[in-house]
Amino acid sequence: MEVKIILDKKAELKDHVLVEGFPGIGLVGTIAAGYLVEKRKMIPIGHIYSDAFPPMTSIHNGRPYFPARIYKDPNANFCVLMAEFVVPSNAVHMISNEILRFIKDQKIRQVVSLAGMTSAKEDEKRGIYGIASNDEMAAYLKLKKVPLINEGVTTGVSGVLIAQCAVENFPAMSLLVESKSGEPDPRAASDLLKKLENVIGLKVDTADLLSEAGRIEAQMGKMMEQVKKGKRVYARSEKAGEVPMYQ
Q: Residues 206-247: pLDDT tens digits?
A: 998 888 776 766 666 666 666 556 445 444 544 444 443 333
Residue 74 included in any domain: yes
Residue 58 included in any domain: yes
What's the CATH code of the domain at 183? 3.40.50.10900
Phi and psi at 185, nearest 5°, equal -130, 80
Supply the range of the domain harboring residue 59.
3-240
pLDDT score, position 221:
65
Residue 103 included in any domain: yes
Nearest to 91 by CA among 122, 42, 49, 58: 49
Residue 153 included in any domain: yes
Residue 246 included in any domain: no
Residue 247 included in any domain: no
Whole-prediction pTM value?
0.86
Residue 61 included in any domain: yes
Q: Count structural domains, the chain.
A: 1
Nearest to 72 by CA among 81, 63, 59: 81
Longest dimension (CA), the chain: 58
Amino acid at 48: I
pLDDT in tens, 64-92: 999 999 999 999 999 999 999 889 899 99
